[in-house]
Amino acid sequence: MITGMEKFAKAAVNLGFILGLSLAGAVVHAQAPAQVPEWCRPLPRPEYKSLQRVLPDDPWFEVYKVVPGVFAIYEPHQAEEVISYLIVGNKQAMLFDTGMGISDIRKVTTKLTSRPVVVLNSHTHDDHVGGNWQFTFIYGMDADFTRKNGKGSREDAQAEIAPDQLCGDLPKGFNPKTYVTKPWRISHFINDGFKVNLGGRTLEVLSTPGHTPDAICLLDRANGLLFTGDTYYPAPIWLFRPETDLDAYVNSVKRLAALAPELKLVLGAHNIPVAEPSVLPRLVAAIQAVRSGQGAVKPEGESKAIHTHDGFHFLLAASKKEKN
């Protein structure tokens, strides 16, 4: 799971500064913080102007129709800027990640489709599984990391609603004192290559460990869509946690880059929902360059460093030299 200070670091990194605030002892209220966090001030992101927005009256989520049958469910009011995806077939729909659990994502899905909804997570960090408990059928990777995180967490959830993590009001009726990542039950364990037929749309699971042991991407081969979770998104990519495996990450992004010629869109899980497939081979080159010592390096928070190469940013554990 992701700690409060690490969440804080990502919000700072996204805009290239350090807020210098402490999360310790923060008192959270349902009202907006008195001071607007720096990461919040540039919102909304201009890239969303080219997408069709639906359900515009929802107070917490922003929902965009990316392509026919695919909706990006965006949470701009929290520093992670998580994006979950509802992918609709003729017989059923899949919700790829369930977000923070701060607002009712199931209510949103019922407005978007009348078909039964199954859940699959790109990985099981708390910001992607918050609404899992609301759904009756959940696919889960057959991994110890998944099983552990299915037990939920209070500490990780509380870190998400510290004042510097919020942009505007929390949803009406939300009680910050009782906010937790609730436990959920996995209905069916899956592995690499597993396919889900939604009716007229088949989704293929690609195991892409690295960010976490249970990280996956989701391939809609017929429509040229690749949902990348936290393996790629257009912001600093977190690769410093104890569960991170850099060798596995490089192998995973190589696998994705090989798919680029047959893709039309890459859909990540944070900040902005769409990218061109050409980003994938560049991502491989960038992480390999960084691991060979190329690119700019800047200390970031405690025991971490931000590595930059060709417009990509990776938040890695700091070496002894970088710590000094």
Distance, in Å, from the CA atom of 33 to the CA atom of 59, rounded to the nearest integer, reads 17
Please say whether the beta carbons of 160 and 28 come within 8 A: no
CATH code for the part of the protein at 4-293: 3.60.15.10
- Mean pLDDT computed over 290-300: 95
pLDDT bracket for residue 26 (50, 70, 90): very low
Provide the pLDDT for residue 9.
45
Q: Which amino acid is at 218?
A: L
Is pLDDT above 60 for 51? yes
What is the tens place of the pLDDT at every residue in 190-215? 999 999 999 999 999 999 999 999 99
What is the tens place of the pLDDT at every residue in 131-189? 999 999 999 999 999 999 999 999 999 999 999 999 999 999 999 999 999 999 999 99
Task: Identify the burial level of 317 via C-beta atoms within 10 angstroms of its C-beta, where 0-12 means exposed, 13-18 middle and 19 or more buried.
Answer: middle
DSSP-H helix ranges across the chain? 4-14, 105-112, 144-149, 155-160, 246-257, 279-291, 320-323
Residue 54, beta-bridge partner list: 63
Please say whether the beta carbons of 182 and 173 come within 8 A: no
What is the tens place of the pLDDT at every residue in 226-263? 999 999 999 999 999 999 999 999 999 999 999 999 99
Angle at 13 between CA 265 and CA 172, to 5 degrees: 80
3-state secondary structure of 292: coil
Residue ranges per domain, the chain?
4-293
